[in-house]
């Protein structure tokens, strides 16, 4: 079945508010038909984008004094890994829950949605590539390069996707789960020369398959430029990209994008900038004009019908707003709401 969001608005993840209730209020006021639970990095290390998803992983150490997390792979790890795989193989989703200690946004959104049913609810998980290349072992070596533990990372994140989808399935006709992969903007650089395309596709595909197993739509968000065909080859339903700063890069992969859209899948256009300076310079009308120019460019480059591109578009901020002042983050969401409404109204 074709997924036609018709420029529906949703968000990425983080907001700068200290209280979950304030963040959820902003979300429900501006992202009416596809709300999401907010990540709140202002609450401290527990809601940082990797730490937030640590529960269930073996050998995790959170050093609160240094505000960092690492995985201790020293000594005999066999029993810890055996316990992990026992819970994974038995599909014990609650073992991989994100508890209120690490997310105030999840229970707050659940409470706010009581008695309601939305067309979509969006959840999110840090992707396995970003997690694996950011979190290190006790020797400060990226855990991505430890075959045993990176496999546990992939499977843990997949289970967290499934857990979230089940938590919100009763509030939506369809759940959308984004896999956040900011580090893919550095794919192909000398820093990650040993990270192969096939391995990235395989790890992403494993998480995507877990999302699909729960009947949800899988998206991948990358807030910089990357090889966008990687995400398409991993089987995602939604490719979310920073359209404000990198909008023309999606057209560098015309065949993959055409295949993606003609299969009934979607692009999520991060057309609303998430820097304080840039959002103050924009209006909904200027953002709509930018969207129109980018759609025209993609249509010509990929030999696609503009109507198809617009019907299979979501509208999002270019990235999370967690690092912005609260006033500017709320400005982003107001612009998102208004831009989406203009585009949706044009479609009748």
Give me the pLDDT at residue 189, please. Answer: 78
Residue whose entry in the numeric block shows the structure tokens 């855990």: 143
38, 23 Cβ separation under 8 angstroms:
yes
Secondary structure class of 188 (helix, strand, coil): coil
CATH architecture, domain defined by 8-346 = Alpha-Beta Barrel (3.20)
pLDDT tens column, 173-186: 999 999 999 999 98
Give me the pLDDT at residue 321, please. Answer: 97
CB atoms within 10 A of CB 186: 16
pLDDT tens column, 57-79: 999 999 999 999 999 999 999 99
CA dihedral sign of residues 78, 80, 86, 88: negative
Give me the pLDDT at residue 232, please. Answer: 97
Who contacts 102 (Cβ-Cβ below 8 Å, separation ≥6)?
Answer: 46, 47, 51, 52, 53, 54, 55
Give me the pLDDT at residue 85, please. Answer: 98
Report how far apart, in Å, the C-alpha atoms of 226 and of each of 82, 239, 251 are.
Answer: 36, 11, 12
**Closest C-alpha among 341, 310, 236, 325 to residue 274:** 325
- What is the pLDDT tens value at each position of the chain, 348 positions in all? 578 999 999 999 999 999 999 999 999 999 999 999 999 999 999 999 999 999 999 999 999 999 999 999 999 999 999 999 999 999 999 999 999 999 999 999 999 999 999 999 999 999 999 999 999 999 999 999 999 999 999 999 999 999 999 999 999 999 999 999 999 998 877 788 889 999 999 999 999 999 999 999 999 999 889 999 999 999 999 999 999 999 999 999 999 999 999 999 999 999 999 999 999 999 999 999 999 999 999 999 999 999 999 999 999 999 999 999 999 999 999 999 999 999 999 987
Question: SS3 string of 292-340?
Answer: HHHHHHHHHHHCCCHHHHHHCEEEEECCCCCCCCHHHHHHHHHHHHHHH
**Closest C-alpha among 171, 305, 187, 190 to residue 249:** 187
Give me the pLDDT at residue 190, please. Answer: 75
Query: How do the domains of the chain map onto residue ranges?
Result: 8-346
Give me the pLDDT at residue 111, please. Answer: 98
Give me the pLDDT at residue 266, please. Answer: 98
pTM of this prediction exceeds 0.95 = yes
């Amino acid at each position: 079945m074709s997924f036609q969001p018709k420029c529906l608005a949703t968000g990425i993840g983080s907001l700068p508010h200290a209280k979950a209730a304030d963040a959820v209020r902003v979300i429900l006021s501006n992202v009416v038909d596809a709300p999401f639970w907010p990540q709140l990095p202002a609450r401290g290390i527990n809601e940082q984008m990797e730490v937030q998803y640590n529960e269930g992983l073996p050998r995790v150490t959170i050093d609160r004094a240094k505000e960092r997390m690492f995985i201790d792979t020293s000594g005999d790890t066999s029993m810890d890994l055996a316990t992990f795989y026992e819970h994974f193989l038995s599909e014990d989703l609650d073992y991989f829950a994100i508890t209120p200690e690490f997310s105030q946004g999840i229970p707050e959104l659940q409470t706010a949605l009581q008695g309601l049913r939305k067309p979509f609810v969006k959840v999110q998980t840090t992707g396995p590539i970003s997690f694996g290349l950011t979190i290190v072992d006790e020797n400060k070596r990226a855990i991505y390069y430890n075959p045993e533990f990176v496999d546990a990372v992939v499977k843990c994140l997949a289970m967290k996707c499934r857990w979230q989808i089940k938590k919100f399935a009763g509030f939506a006709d369809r759940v959308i789960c984004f896999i956040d992969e900011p580090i893919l903007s550095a794919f192909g650089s000398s820093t990650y020369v040993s990270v192969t395309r096939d391995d990235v596709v395989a790890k992403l595909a494993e998480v995507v398959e877990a999302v699909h197993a729960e009947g949800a739509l899988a998206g991948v968000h990358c807030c910089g430029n990357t090889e966008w065909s990687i995400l398409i080859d991993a089987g995602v339903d939604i490719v979310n990209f920073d359209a404000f700063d990198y909008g023309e890069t999606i057209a560098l992969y015309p065949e993959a994008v055409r295949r993606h859209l003609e299969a009934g899948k979607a692009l999520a256009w991060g057309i609303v900038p998430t820097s304080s300076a840039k959002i103050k310079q924009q209006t909904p009308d200027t953002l709509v004009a930018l969207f129109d120019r980018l759609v025209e460019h993609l249509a010509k480059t990929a030999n696609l019908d503009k109507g198809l591109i617009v019907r299979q578009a979501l509208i999002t901020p270019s990235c999370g707003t967690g690092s912005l002042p609260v006033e500017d983050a709320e400005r982003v969401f107001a612009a998102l709401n208004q831009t989406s409404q203009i585009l949706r109204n044009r479609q009748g």
